[in-house]
Chain A
Amino acid sequence: MLGLNRKDAILLLIVAVLALFAPFILNPFPVDSALAQFNAGYPDLMQRFVIFGIFAIGFNILFGLTGYLSFGHAAFLGVGSYSAVWMFKLLSMNVLPALVFSVVIAGLFALVIGYVSLRRSGIYFSILTLAFAQMSFNLAYSVLTPITNGETGLQLALTDPRILDSAQVGGSLPVTSLFGAEMRSAMTLDLAGWSFTFSVGYYLCAIIMLIAFYLSVRLFRSPFGLMLRAIKSNQQRLNYTGLESRPYTLAAFVISGMYAGLAGGLLASMDPLAGADRMQWTASGEVVLMTILGGAGTLIGPVLGAGFIKYFENIFSKINESILHQWFAFLPDGVQDFIVMILYPFIGKGWSLTLGIMFMLVVIFLPGGLVEGGQRIARLFRRTKTTDGDVVSTKTKPAE
């Protein structure tokens, strides 16, 4: 199907089903239940899941395949966001030109940064990309204020030209749309105690993520993808085999920069403002975490990692002390206070502590990330099945 082998086609299908039914899957708890807390099926968060999924898929093309660890990929995300907002200001509120422009500008930006950074490899490459990203971050705050609007961030204004859109009528800011379908418009389905929201914005992001994922699968399975994996394995041998590694790494760098630009453009399309903090090194580090947590070099890993981290960031961080007390209310007061005291550092603002511990556990015990965890569990099941079979056969033998 679509030029994929059976296994990859099934994977794509699973991702498609998960993405399209996410509003249901992520909202398993009725609105009034105590666990509604853990529902993640609201448009804002679902959009972030898939957008950061795109970011991580792109990052994985560089890091997972070639092994070049960029610590500055958030710069491309930021550039994508700024480009998109400028398109909304100057051209039209249609997201299509904005997305195209984000991808192109981020690609050009990646070409320049990659060209310089890829002169070195290993830790020096990482440091160079980090330096470039921090430079962009600082410039966005200072010299480039006319373009980035500094600390305030780039926003829409009523006075923006928007040459393709018909003249502004009302007094409120226009909203982003795709040929008339507004990104923020949503439909809510109330079913018994449950409530599911389907937003145009989310479905646009999900479809773009599926396309991005499909392209990355094709790339992984192509001769080009093979060369990138060869670079990670033995760059010397590749050179003596008649291939030049630099153009390959640069191409991978630019492609992953374009993915980041697309993610940035989508962020701005969902909420048309862009700030420099999107480029900060913590944001660059986050995509590294996502990719490693999910499983670098695997197809689905980065998407899982992105979802995982974004879920923690948004859901775990909202649990506060009183909610904990509520949960453990059935316990005697002293015990209850004690348990809450122990758990407290791991929730709310302490979510990053929980995430950090999980990240360490995954890296130490599952170097292949969550994907490896899944594979191990699958293998465990298969093994118990076969041993069952053996038991049966040894039992039947004496009877013969």
Chain B
Amino acid sequence: MGILEIKNVNKRFGGLQALGNVNLTVMENTVHAIIGPNGAGKSTLLNCLVGKLLPDTGTAMFDGRSVLGKKPHQINQMGISRVFQTPEIFADLSVLENVMIPCFAHRDGSFKINAMSSLMRERDMLDKAEHILEDLNMADKRDMHAGSMSRGDKRRLELAMCLVQEPRLLLLDEPTAGMARADTNNTIDLLKEIKAKRDITMVIIEHDMHVVFSLAERITVMAQGTPLVEDTPDKIKGHPKVKEAYLGEAA
């Protein structure tokens, strides 16, 4: 039994079959990578998991409970956080505020009126937010306007926003795209560290094979909306079908 079970998921956009009969099982506490060429349907699959899209058919269970038909905030409260392919942050707010929002969401649930408590006196929330920013080497950017940062920094900020919620399942859609090499390596180390520290399952979509092979314990290769093969990184490296469909052009 995996923590995430996707069965027979189909999604069409007009005439385009974006997802065709997707079956995928992600085991608890593993890092599972999904790779595949552009337009393979990787992001669409994640969109179905976080409540952005409703698939035409199929089921998706997280920890034995269906996520389909639930609202995005409900899915997040179940313990699923996502980093988007194009950074989704609160561009008008400071970096620290960006990280504090998920802190409160994690502590207080989906709605709470605490209009008379002061943000700067929420010591434990502040500590938590500052701590995660330190982990991501962003402590110096704490008071910066989030929207004015580089794309790579925005991505790291979004990662911080997800990690601070201590999710059980972390969905990462190209988390290192647009990052400098050093930051990419940093992110790899950070994800490894978090993985070692506590129970967390990660699904990671990535075009950068260095990232994939440094982190993944299982890899699924998708093309044209359907998973082709799923195996361990070593087996995937030598798989003829994979070379043909993906690695051949990426290498």
Residues of A within 8 A of B (CB): 3-5, 218-219, 221-227, 229-230, 232-234, 236-244, 247-248, 251, 255
> B23-31, B112-120, B186-194: which one contacts chain A?
B112-120
In the complex, A255→B116 CA distance in Å? 13
Q: List 21 A-B contacts (CB under 8 A).
A: A5-B120, A218-B118, A219-B115, A221-B120, A222-B118, A223-B100, A223-B112, A224-B112, A226-B101, A229-B93, A234-B90, A234-B91, A239-B71, A240-B50, A240-B88, A241-B73, A241-B81, A241-B161, A243-B110, A244-B71, A247-B111
> Are A240 and B76 neighbours in the complex by a CB distance under 8 Å?
yes
Q: Which 4 A-B pairs have the closest CB atoms?
A: A242-B76, A242-B105, A233-B90, A233-B92
> Are B111 and A3 neighbours in the complex by a CB distance under 8 Å?
no
> Are A241 and B117 neighbours in the complex by a CB distance under 8 Å?
no
In the complex, which of the residues A226, A233, A241, A248 contacts B119, with contact meaning CB atoms closer than 8 Å? A226
> Are B88 and A236 neighbours in the complex by a CB distance under 8 Å?
yes
Residue from the set B88, B89, B100, B101 with the largest chain A CB neighbour count within 10 Å: B101
List chain A residues, Cβ under 8 A from B109: 242
List chain B residues, Cβ under 8 A from A230: 90, 93, 97, 101
> Are A234 and B88 neighbours in the complex by a CB distance under 8 Å?
yes
List chain B residues, Cβ under 8 A from A251: 113
List chain A residues, Cβ under 8 A from B84: 240
Q: A221-B120, A226-B119 are in contact. Are A237 and B89 (CB under 8 A)?
A: yes
List B73-107 residues whose CB lies under 8 Å from chain A. 73, 76-77, 81-82, 84, 88-93, 97, 100-102, 104-106
List chain B residues, Cβ under 8 A from A5: 118, 120
Q: A230-B93, A230-B101 are in contact. Are A3 and B115 (CB under 8 A)?
A: no
> Are A225 and B88 neighbours in the complex by a CB distance under 8 Å?
no
Judged by a CB distance under 8 angstroms, whether B37 is at the interface is: no
Judged by a CB distance under 8 angstroms, whether B72 is at the interface is: yes
> Are B100 and A226 neighbours in the complex by a CB distance under 8 Å?
yes
> Are B113 and A224 neighbours in the complex by a CB distance under 8 Å?
yes
Q: How far is the CB of A154 from chain B (nearest CB, A)?
A: 33
Number of A-B pairs, beta carbon distance below 8 Å: 110
> Are B90 and A240 neighbours in the complex by a CB distance under 8 Å?
no
> Are B120 and A233 neighbours in the complex by a CB distance under 8 Å?
no
> Are B100 and A241 neighbours in the complex by a CB distance under 8 Å?
no
List chain A residues, Cβ under 8 A from B114: 222-224
List chain A residues, Cβ under 8 A from B120: 5, 221
Q: How far is the CB of A25 from chain B (nearest CB, A)?
A: 31
Judged by a CB distance under 8 angstroms, whether B220 is at the interface is: no
In the complex, A238→B161 CA distance in Å? 11
Judged by a CB distance under 8 angstroms, whether B143 is at the interface is: no
List chain A residues, Cβ under 8 A from B81: 240-241
Q: A230-B90, A230-B93 are in contact. Are A243 and B105 (CB under 8 A)?
A: yes
List chain A residues, Cβ under 8 A from B165: 241-242
Q: How far is the CB of A110 from chain B (nearest CB, A)?
A: 15
List chain B residues, Cβ under 8 A from A224: 112-115
> Are A243 and B73 neighbours in the complex by a CB distance under 8 Å?
yes
In the complex, which of the residues B76, B91, B112, B115 contacts A225, with contact meaning CB atoms closer than 8 Å? B115
List B120-163 residues whose CB lies under 8 Å from chain A. 120-122, 125, 161
List chain A residues, Cβ under 8 A from B91: 233-234
List chain B residues, Cβ under 8 A from A237: 88-90
> Are A244 and B101 neighbours in the complex by a CB distance under 8 Å?
no
In the complex, A232→B125 CA distance in Å? 22
Q: Which residue on A lies nearest to B103, using beta carbons?
A: A223
In the complex, A227→B92 CA distance in Å? 12
Q: How far is the CB of B237 from chain A (nearest CB, A)?
A: 33
Q: Which residue on A lies nearest to B161, using beta carbons?
A: A241
List chain A residues, Cβ under 8 A from B90: 229-230, 233-234, 237-238
In the complex, which of the residues A219, A227, A229, A242 contacts B77, with contact meaning CB atoms closer than 8 Å? A242
List chain B residues, Cβ under 8 A from A218: 115-116, 118
Q: Which residue on B lies nearest to A8, using beta carbons?
A: B118
> Are A223 and B119 neighbours in the complex by a CB distance under 8 Å?
yes
In the complex, A244→B105 CA distance in Å? 10
List chain B residues, Cβ under 8 A from A227: 101, 104
Residue from the set A226, A239, A241, A243 with the largest chain B CB neighbour count within 10 Å: A241
List chain B residues, Cβ under 8 A from A255: 115
List chain A residues, Cβ under 8 A from B92: 229, 232-233
List chain B residues, Cβ under 8 A from A241: 73, 76, 81, 101-102, 105, 161, 165
> Are A222 and B117 neighbours in the complex by a CB distance under 8 Å?
yes
> Are A240 and B72 neighbours in the complex by a CB distance under 8 Å?
yes
> Are B122 and A223 neighbours in the complex by a CB distance under 8 Å?
yes
Q: Which residue on A lies nearest to B107, using beta carbons?
A: A223
Instruction: Give 7 new A-B contacts, CB below 8 A, not counting A221-B120, A234-B88, A251-B113.
Output: A223-B108, A226-B104, A240-B50, A240-B82, A241-B102, A242-B73, A242-B165
List chain A residues, Cβ under 8 A from B71: 239, 244
> Are B102 and A222 neighbours in the complex by a CB distance under 8 Å?
no
In the complex, A225→B93 CA distance in Å? 12
In the complex, A232→B93 CA distance in Å? 10
List chain B residues, Cβ under 8 A from A236: 88
List chain B residues, Cβ under 8 A from A229: 90, 92-93, 97
List chain B residues, Cβ under 8 A from A243: 73, 101, 104-105, 110-111
In the complex, A237→B108 CA distance in Å? 17
In the complex, A237→B91 CA distance in Å? 10
List chain B residues, Cβ under 8 A from A232: 92
In the complex, A255→B115 CA distance in Å? 11
> Are A242 and B110 neighbours in the complex by a CB distance under 8 Å?
yes
List chain A residues, Cβ under 8 A from B76: 239-242
List chain A residues, Cβ under 8 A from B73: 239-244
